[in-house]
Amino acid sequence: MMTDAQKEKIRYWRMEGLGYGGIAARLGIPENTVKSFCRRNDLTGTATIEASMACRHCGQPLSGSPGRKGRKFCCEACRRAWWKANPELVDRRAFYRLACARCGKEFESYGNKGRKYCSHACYIAARFGEGGSHDEGAV
């Protein structure tokens, strides 16, 4: 049984032109399940030109130039509103599970796999000692 979020992702990725196998791999479900859902919901073939030529948020027609990547939104406000309403469709692949070099606590870092410390406090303690003050020798 597919969740509503999975169904929405299938619709979105089919309109983006992604194939059944690619969608199945991203969702971790059988390819035939994706195919069946697409057949039942008229998502076979490739994305229609009419659907790709309208703003995803408000449905306003979009102008396009041949040979250029098509627009998906009519304006910045629609783009922000659509992504705010559909955060589950953001492909977040840059999350890294790391261990703090000072305390050993596991933490998650987004976009920076070279991060060493879980917090600023751990960085200061490791850099300047347990006291945390970098002006200990000041007069």
Instruction: Tell me the C-alpha distance between 129 and 77, whole Å.
Output: 48
Q: Which amino acid is at 119?
A: S
pTM for the complete prediction?
A: 0.40
Instruction: Tell me the C-alpha distance between 29 and 4, whole Å.
Output: 14
Residue 66 has pLDDT above 90, yes or no: no
At residue 54, what are phi and psi to the nearest 5 degrees?
-130, 145
Residue 18 has pLDDT above 60, yes or no: yes
Q: Residue 121's closest CA among 100, 139, 138?
A: 100
Q: Residue 107's closest CA among 91, 123, 88, 129?
A: 123
Q: For residue range 102-111, what is the model confidence (pLDDT) as tens digits?
A: 999 999 998 8
pLDDT at position 46 is 60
The 10 Å Cβ neighbour count of residue 43 is: 19
pLDDT at position 52 is 55
Averaged pLDDT, 22-37: 88
Residue 48 has pLDDT above 60, yes or no: no
